[in-house]
Amino acid sequence: MIQDYLKYVQSVKGGAERTVEAYRNDLLRYENYCNNNDISVQSAEPYEVQKFIADLSAERMSAASVNRCLSSIRGFYRWMIRFNKRDDNPCSSLRNIKMPVKLPHVLWENEMADFAALPVSTGILWPERDKALIMAMYSGGLRISEVVSLSMASISADLDEAKITGKGGKERYVFFSDEAIAAIMEYLPQRAARLRMAGMDSKKSALFISRKGQSISVPGVRWIISRYAQHSGLGKNIHPHALRHSFATHMVNSGCDVRVVQEMLGHSSISTTQRYTHVNLEKLKNVYAKAHPHAQGASL
């Protein structure tokens, strides 16, 4: 039944490969637990699912991972109900574990400007491509999977916007700033030259490519960002998603409505976007602690 459910998630619900793999790992772990404790997966009681979740917490699994596992099980039983394999959902009374507020890693405006200048100033990899890559991710608030799948066909003729497909197959438009457009324009002739050498059509392939003319990969983007992070001297945890976090934080700080930012990011829940207001509040607290005479030296 688990395999049938996973096929349903992938083919009918349009679940991404990574999402389906996460569900598979969670459900197989749950199945093993049931088998080891003489529990029937099909007829498990609420207290038995709750015991499984409690055991995960006892193993010091993070709250986010425990909640994802519970979500996987909950969805599995919803599927069983829908296809008349069970009458009730044993997870309906179970609540997610409260998660600690974890602020995302961001680069402030001046730090982002310095980081975007690193490809040219260091010259360590492919400066024009890497600056365009960094600016596109930051300017458009792109996930790493979205920037990898960005193609020339998805970008407007003026290079100022692109239509992308995000999580869950949801489509949205993202926009590029003048600086991002300038960086992409400087990169495109070099991209075209490399694709000609590889015998490929520059109009049909991915926007960001490797030196060999192949579409850049997710590990490739991580490696590129990590190389520049090593040269940044900023002392921060800089990774591809930090550029998306920075985009969202800067938009909120500039007075952009949180719901507009939510749409730009492609978030399903407004609560996911609202954490960027907490980032701004944390920064204001730190500025206050350093500047106010009565607060100097205080720990906030």
Active-site residue set? 143, 167, 241, 244, 267, 276
Residue 218 is encoded by which pair of tokens? 């997710």
Angle, nearest 10°, between helix axes 178-197 and 127-140?
140
Instruction: Count the Cβ atoms, other than its own, within 10 Å of residue 4.
Output: 12
Residue 254 is encoded by which pair of tokens? 């500039």
Instruction: Count the Cβ atoms, other than its own, within 10 Å of residue 297.
Output: 7
Contacts of residue 119, Cβ cutoff 8 Å, sequence gap at least 6: 125, 126, 127, 128, 129, 130, 131, 134, 228
- Alpha-carbon distance of 267 to 265, in angstroms, equals 6
Strand 161-165 and strand 171-175: the pairing is: antiparallel
Residue 213 is encoded by which pair of tokens? 């003319």
- Alpha-carbon distance of 147 to 229, in angstroms, equals 18
- Alpha-carbon distance of 7 to 248, in angstroms, equals 34
- Chain centroid to CA 36: how far? 35
